[in-house]
Amino acid sequence: MQTTERPGINLDLNLTEKAAEQVRVFMDAESVSPESAGLRVSVMPGGCSGFKYGLNIEEQALEDDIIKDERGIRLFIDAFSAQYLSGTTVDYVSTINGNGFTFSNPNATGGCGCGSSFST
């Protein structure tokens, strides 16, 4: 798999094995090819704290995406999101309250109770 870098952008985005396993399940359910498809990890304005995370299975990267291979999963990240995601670990957890992806982001200075938005 290919990894592309962008000058001036240091992207250290990590995907745990549990998260990668769950992404494979979603990709299989959507019948997308792991050779061209991947997981878009994004940050968008919004949420209770100013920014919110986004995860989406996409069939192919956009022309200006940073593409990173993590545990056999292609990650697609746009330059805007990359500046907020460096050092972040994406995990998949199962608790008594439910299942879902979590983000451990060292760049976040605050967050909200729901855990899906953050501030810097």
The pLDDT of residue 95 is 87
- Mean pLDDT confidence for 34-49: 86
pLDDT the model gives residue 89: 96
- Whole-number pLDDT of residue 1: 42
Interatomic CA distance for residues 15 and 104, integer angstroms: 11
Lowest mean pLDDT among 9-18, 34-43, 66-75, 107-116: 107-116
CB hemisphere CA count around 18 (13 angstroms): 11
Beta pairing, strands 38-46 & 50-58? antiparallel
pLDDT at 2: 47
Domain spans of the chain, in order of start: 14-119
> Poorest-confidence range of 52-56, 76-80, 110-114?
110-114
CATH class for the region spanning 14-119: mainly beta
pLDDT beyond 90 at 30: yes
What span, in angstroms and rounded, lies between the C-alpha atoms of 31 and 22?
14
Query: From the centroid of its chain, how far is CA 37?
Result: 14
Strands 73-77 and 38-46: parallel
Owner of token pair 């995601």: 85
pLDDT exceeds cutoff 80 at 48 = no
> How many whole angstroms separate alpha carbon 35 and alpha carbon 107?
31
pTM: 0.82
Taking Cα atoms as reference points, which of 82, 52, 77 lies closest to residue 62?
77
